[in-house]
Amino acid sequence: MRVVVGVSGGIAAYKVAHLVRFFKELGHSVKVIPTQTSLNFVGAATWEALSGQPVSTSVFDAVDEVQHVRIGQEADLIVIAPATADIVARIAAGRTDDLLTATVLTATCPIVVAPAMHTEMWNNPATAANVATLRARGFHVMDPAVGRLTGKDSGAGRLPEPQDIGAFALDIVGRTKDLAGMHVVISAGGTREPLDPVRYLGNHSSGLQGTSLARAALERGARVTLVAASMTAPVPGNVTVVPAGSALELRERMLELKQDADVIIMTAAVADFRPAHYADAKIKKADGSDELTISLVKNPDILKELTSARRESGQIIVGFAAETGDSQGDVLYHGRNKALRKGADLLVVNEVGEAKGFGTADNSVVILDNEGEPLGETSGTKLEVAHAILDQVARIAAR
Ligand code: CTP
């Protein structure tokens, strides 16, 4: 395996010599890319001797080999350790001002980030936002260890132990390619139901659970198509994106793709109703009336349609259920009923409400089988939840 170890300018850089050793002793090829400032802590000679490969920090070294794109394209794993607040910020901003950041921007392999910085920097809202951005994009950002820092202080911000970083990274790349050869079609985002040429009815879906599923399916070897309604979450590279605006458009796109899909996952927040009439011209305020009544008609239930006309050879269909619970029953009660009604192989139930589900980085779900029986409960980042869902998909596919 080709491992790139990115070293940024923190005192913990000296510990990363053991990480390079760890990968080398397992027989992997290691390319170390330090930032210029990190050379104040550990010099290039150390990295060259340990890795057995030349070291450069700039995109202007070995220009004929087009290093700034080649290294990232060819890497099987990138580990950035220590990751300072500065490198986290530069990567989150998509900058390419040295060889390490250029490599990160061209890479399609898993990227592990092991932060090390003072507690104040780790807790600063700017760093927290950058870390959240990286996690949302699928970077595997470890939590820093808690303990003694460089000076007299101690707290969160210590570099995790090199063997822990190594083991964490190998776990991620070692994930079995259990969806290899499968085509996974995922709908994501919220539909927009047009009212007139400038207005629509919509919802708060960010699309993040859908894009996280897309990333997780790619990591497990699948070919992925994302049918994207309105969404703000960034789409991972290597995914075929098919845009869809309204529920009716989303239905068309899903029906077109259905025959070629081994797995269908409906994360999209599909509007249950659409305006009964589309006004060709902008709706104006009527004189003398303070009210406007909009008639709505029901949209087709796309998930139900997909499960009732399944492709003949095995197809796994996963639905989502966003529930708040009400006087009739709790979230799981409604989830169970929905599982029986929708006919999907799996139904992922999550509780929504203010600051829950929509737009948040984390999710907490219960996965039900086709009879509404709980298979397990999972919480964590949306990428972790995505893998838990795909564990169940892979289990059904292996039957
Ligand atoms: N869904 C769909 N077509 C619709 C509405 C929802 O395919 N017209 C899909 C969603 O993508 C999701 C699942 O059905 O996978 C459940 O969505 P949800 O909004 O929770 O359920 P509803 O069918 O709208 O049921 P209810 O109104 O009773 O909550």
Number of CB atoms found within 10 A of residue 301's CB = 16
Ligand 1 atom at minimal distance to the Cα of residue 268: 11
Instruction: Take atom 4 of ligand 1 and give the residue whose Cα is closest.
Output: 301
Contact 265, 213 (CB under 8 A): yes
DSSP 8-state code for residue 84:
-
Residues with CB under 6 A from ligand 1: 247, 266, 268, 270, 272, 299, 301-303, 319-322
- State pLDDT tens for residues 72-126: 999 999 999 999 999 999 999 999 999 999 999 999 889 999 999 999 999 999 9
Contact 240, 225 (CB under 8 A): yes
Among all residues, which ones are annotated catalytic?
203
Tell me the CATH number for domain 2-173: 3.40.50.1950
Beta bridge partners of 376: 367
224 CA from centroid of ligand 1 (Å): 22
172 CA from centroid of ligand 1 (Å): 33
321 CA from centroid of ligand 1 (Å): 7
According to CATH, where is 3.40.50.10300 located in the chain? 183-397
Instruction: Take atom 27 of ligand 1 and give the residue whose Cα is closest.
Output: 272
DSSP result, 304-325: HHHHHT--SS--EEEEEEEE--
Would residue 11 be called left, alpha or beta, if left means φ above 0 and alpha means ψ between -120 and 50 degrees?
Answer: alpha
Q: Which two tokens stand for residue 147?
A: 């303990």
The CA R_g of the chain, rounded to the nearest whole Å, is 24
Ligand 1 atom at minimal distance to the Cα of residue 318: 15
Ligand 1 atom at minimal distance to the Cα of residue 304: 7
- State pLDDT tens for residues 7-20: 999 999 999 999 99
- State pLDDT tens for residues 318-377: 999 988 889 999 999 999 999 999 999 999 998 876 555 566 778 899 999 999 999 999
According to CATH, where is 3.40.50.1950 located in the chain? 2-173
- Measured CA to CA, the distance from residue 325 to residue 318 in angstroms comes to 21
Pocket test for ligand 1, best of 316, 318, 320 (most atoms within 8 A of CB): 320
Tell me the CATH number for domain 183-397: 3.40.50.10300
Q: Which two tokens stand for residue 314?
A: 């095995």
Query: Residue 148 has what pLDDT?
Result: 81
